Amino acid sequence: MRQPEFLTPVAQAQETGLELYWLGAEFTADDAVFQISGNTQLIERDGAPPGLVWYYGMRKPAGGAEAIVQVHADGGGGDEAAREALKRVRGATSKSVQVGPWEGLLYSLPAGTRPVNQYWLFVDVGATVAIVRVPSGDTGIPGQDSNPLLDPELLIDVVVENLRPYPD
């Protein structure tokens, strides 16, 4: 039996002591199923603990465009750099949110004709900050997205229900 491709970067991250959080091997949002892909990456930074990025791809029963979700596990300040960069995006807004037992910060980024092109949800889970990035899924129809997680209430519900330490 072939091992999942994400195990190598996960093992490398665990060797550094990074506390990993993920959304599980798959999760459901609306009628879409998001499954972890083999694109999980260890992000190394000079003089700082690494981060890990989990990638999830969407399968939708009725077909449609692909949508992705990224979950970053970061214990070394990369979340602060990301927040500073998001503050400089024209039209970006942020608000504090409650994410189950955790405090969170939700950034909304517009683009073109879309009032929201992507969300970044920062969740402080202790030694790690989990960052859930949700870009739009392009359907080719102006104003219509294929990523159900562009609904902020659904995004927070999915994170509350599924965010947990790895391995679960």
pLDDT in tens, 7-55: 788 888 888 888 888 999 999 988 888 888 878 888 877 766 778 888 8
% of the chain beyond a pLDDT of 90? 26
pLDDT of residue 114: 64
Residue 7 DSSP code: H
pLDDT category at 155 given cuts 50, 70, 90 is very high
pLDDT of residue 1: 43
Region 136-159: mean pLDDT is 75
**Is the separation of the CB atoms in 133 and 110 below 8 Å?**
no
Bigger pLDDT: 82 vs 117:
82
**Is the separation of the CB atoms in 109 and 116 below 8 Å?**
yes
pLDDT of residue 2: 46
Highest mean pLDDT among 39-43, 83-87, 135-139, 155-159: 155-159
Fill in the amino acid letter for 95: K
pLDDT of residue 147: 81
Residue 98 pLDDT more than 90? yes
Gap between the Cα atoms of 102 and 91, Å rounded = 26
Gap between the Cα atoms of 6 and 121, Å rounded = 22
Gap between the Cα atoms of 134 and 113, Å rounded = 17
% of the chain beyond a pLDDT of 70? 83
